[in-house]
Each structure stands twice: as structure tokens, then as C-alpha cells.
Amino acid sequence: MNLQMGFDQNVSNAEQLILENVVGIRNRLSVLRKDRQNFFKAEDVIKLYEDLAIQVALLQKTRESEQNTHDDFSNRVDSVLDDCFQLISLFYMALGKNFEIPATYVQLVTIKQNLELFAENGAYTEGTLSFILFFFFCNIFSFLFFLEDLLPYKERLSEIREIIKNSEFSNDDVYRPELELVAKKLRQNSKMLENLEDSIKKISDELTPIFNQLVTLKQRLMAITAACNGKAMENKEAAKEAKEYQRELLEIDELRMNNKFYDSDGSLAEGQALVVGLLEQCFDMVHDLLAEGEAVVEDMKPLYERLL
């Protein structure tokens, strides 16, 4: 199959043919997934998996020769491989093979996407993360994934690590190139999770309760925004809640001196940027919900106007 595609930046000449072959495999997987007249056959999925493993082996050899084996290296070949392994992973899960190596890939991708959301959102704690419902849907089946704690991430990553470890010493039909690809995805997730945990640990003990309170407030403001489509003033109960959260935010802000939080010994509290950034995000959300302060509670208006 000769696909006509232009040269992709960061895709070397040696990787171009691999890219074409992987795109072809992705197309075949998509056709298999969209065939609603016939339930897919396990042997068809396994054959595509074997074909993909061959391309992964070629890619790894190519990158070794070009010295591009570090975990952070990525180009279009990797994004197409992601698509392929997610589809194969879903096929394996649909076949009830949840604890085999191919089935772990889509779980790692899902975890990575959620960790990225948490990092961007900035509202999570070691025990409780922001209120997020993650929907993942495909034509084979659908499920609701609800994650609100760092511990399930750590535990699932640990389980996948054990699956990989056991597979390395098993006699099952595990293709080592694909095993290394999953291991790489696992290392990326572990590093991201570690960074999230480190950011929490940098907050001083005295500032941690304020941070946790802000996380809770942001969760609730997100829920109000979703419930009333960002227009709390059109909903009496939502407006009442938003005003109460606004009062709490203003009370938290009053704990600052010269716009900074200090520990009881007078030293600048660690985790300043993260907590102040979260406080400002919450103020922005209240501002949007209450239409530029026209619904600010009366006794808080002077302080609110000073903050604008």
C-alpha cells in the first residue's frame, strides 16, 4: 500500500516508511472497529497486533541508530502508534483480556490525559483532586471513568508495572518491542505523577489548609458553572451559592499581607505561587459567574473593588 504523504518535520527519512506502514495498520484497525455488521475476530486483532509489533521493532532499531531513544523524543510516528495501540487495547479489553499487556496501553493514555488536566487545572491535593468526570467513548463500548484521588493513579501504575515485569519473564505471546513501548508510556506517567506530588509537598504546613480550602471552592465553582452554563445570576440558588463562595475567597484574601501569605513565624510561606494562583483563578470564576461584581455581597464591596 503506497500512501502519498508529505515529509513530516522531525520524522527522519528512515522513519518515513515506518510511518506509512503504521498509518496503514491504523486504517485497517479503524475499518475493523467500524464494521457493525460483524463482530470482530480475535485472530484479526492479533494479526494486526503482530504487524504493529514488527513496525515498533523497526522503529526502535532506527531510533537507536539515530540516537533518539530518550523518553521525551516524539514525532508523528509516535502519535499514530498511540492511535493504533489504543484501538488494539480496546479490542483486547472487549475480549476480556484486561490484564494482558496490550490492554494496559489505553489505560496509560487515559491516566496521562487526566494527569495533564490536573496539572493544567491546578486544583488537586494528595488526597483529593478536582471534581472531574472523564468520559471515554468508542464504537465498541463505552464507560465512565471517575478519578478524584492520586492514590488510584499510583496503585494502577503499580499494577501495570507488575504486569510488565511478569510479562518479561513469561512464555506468553508478548512481543518485546511492544513491551518496551508500554514501559516507556509507564515511565512518562510515573514522572508526571511524581511532579504533581512534588508540587504539593512544596506547600508549607500552615498554608496547606488554605490550599485545600481553595481546591474545594474551585470544585464547587466548577460545578456551579457547569450547572448554570456560567450564568449564576439567572439562577437564584446558584447566585446565592456563588456569593457565599465569594465571601470565603475574600476572607482568605484578607489573610494576606502585601498580597503575600506568611507563616506564623513571619517567614514567607512556601507554595506561594501555587496558592495565590489558585486564589486568583477562583476570583476569576466568581467574577464571571456574578457578572463583573454587580452581585457582590454589600459588606464586601470595598474589598472586592480594591482587588479589581
Collect all residues with Cβ–Cβ distance below 8 Å to 77 and sequence separation of at least 6. Answer: 11, 15, 18, 19, 22, 59
- Please tell me the distance from the alpha carbon of residue 288 to that of residue 54, in angstroms, as a whole number: 53
- The residue ranges of every structural domain in the chain are 13-200, 208-307
CA distances from 69 to 59, 74, 157, 169, 181 (A): 10, 10, 22, 23, 11
pLDDT at 4: 40
Contact assessment for residue 290 and residue 304, using Cβ atoms and an 8 Å cutoff: no
Give the burial class of 285: count Cβ atoms within 10 A of its Cβ; 0-12 exposed, 13-18 middle, 19 or more buried: buried
φ/ψ of residue 174, rounded to 5: -105, 125
Q: What is the pLDDT of residues 261-302, one digit of tens each?
A: 999 999 999 988 888 988 998 999 898 888 644 545 556 556
pLDDT at 308: 53
**pTM higher than 0.85:** no
| Strand intervals (E) in 195-262 | none
φ/ψ of residue 12, rounded to 5: -70, 165
Per-residue model confidence as pLDDT tens for the chain (308 residues): 334 444 445 899 999 999 999 999 999 999 998 887 778 888 999 899 999 999 999 999 999 998 888 888 889 999 999 999 999 999 988 888 888 888 888 889 888 888 887 776 655 555 544 333 333 333 323 222 233 457 788 888 999 998 888 876 665 555 577 888 889 899 999 998 888 877 777 888 899 899 889 988 988 898 888 887 756 666 778 888 989 999 999 999 999 998 899 999 999 999 888 889 889 989 998 988 886 445 455 565 566 555 55
* C-alpha cell read off for 72: 521525551
CA distances from 191 to 162, 177, 185, 188, 196 (A): 17, 21, 10, 5, 9
Contact assessment for residue 55 and residue 21, using Cβ atoms and an 8 Å cutoff: yes
- Smallest Cα–Cα separation from 81: which of 141, 15, 153? 15
Please, which residues bridge with residue 145 across strands?
134
Collect all residues with Cβ–Cβ distance below 8 Å to 242 and sequence separation of at least 6. Answer: 221, 224, 232, 286, 289, 290, 295
pLDDT at 219: 84
Please, which residues bridge with residue 146 across strands?
133
pLDDT at 114: 80
pLDDT at 23: 97
